[in-house]
Structure 1
């Protein structure tokens, strides 16, 4: 359901940007480091939105990769800790937890 709402909101934002860009079709002067050019404002607006989306998407993808690497590291650490617990007690961690519950009762 969340994905559907994200899609709907994304489409609404895209439509608003497209309408805003179509209304602004006058040529504007764009200054580069090495010169200037006259571009239609619609292309400047859409180009800016596109570049912003690329930057935001790249940052998001990098963050996802960082989180996935952290999840792998934590899973590996958990397995190592469980292995150490098995070596110390000689039984599985779930079995020792069951024994603790039984002794409390």
Structure 2
């Protein structure tokens, strides 16, 4: 349901931006570092929105990749700890003590 509201909100914002751009069709002067040009304001507005979306999307992707890498690292760490706990439990079982409790506090620590 949350995804549907995000889509509806995104479409609403896109419609508002499109209406705003369409009513501003006058030519404006755009100064570049290497020159000056006249562009319709609608293209300046839509280009600015498009570039802002690209920057925001790129920053979001970087955050997603970082979180995925951290998740992978934590899963690997958990797998190693479970393997160590299993081998410790196997050794305790061989000794005849099946009621051994393994106290592992490494998961409670901050990974950073």
Aligned residues: 94
* 1:100–1:87 distance in 2 versus 1, CA, 3 Å: closer
Runs (4+) of structure 1 exceeding 2 A deviation are: none
Give the gaps of 5 or more residues in structure 2.
Answer: 92-98, 102-112
- Alpha-carbon distance in structure 2 between the residues aligned to 1:54 and 1:3: 20
Give the gaps of 5 or more residues in structure 1.
Answer: 92-98
Greater percentage in helix: 1
Aligned residue for 1:27?
27
Aligned residue for 2:96?
none
Aligned residue for 2:105?
none
- Alpha-carbon distance in structure 2 between the residues aligned to 1:4 and 1:84: 44
The offset of 1:89, in angstroms, is 2.2
Normalised by the size of structure 1, how large is the TM-score?
0.84
- Alpha-carbon distance in structure 1 between the residues aligned to 2:42 and 2:55: 20
The offset of 1:83, in angstroms, is 1.0
The offset of 1:86, in angstroms, is 1.5
CA RMSD across the alignment: 1.6
The offset of 1:100, in angstroms, is 7.3
1:75 equivalent in alignment to 2:75: yes
SS of 2:25's partner is: coil
Normalised by the size of structure 2, how large is the TM-score?
0.79
Aligned residue for 2:15?
15
Aligned residue for 2:52?
52
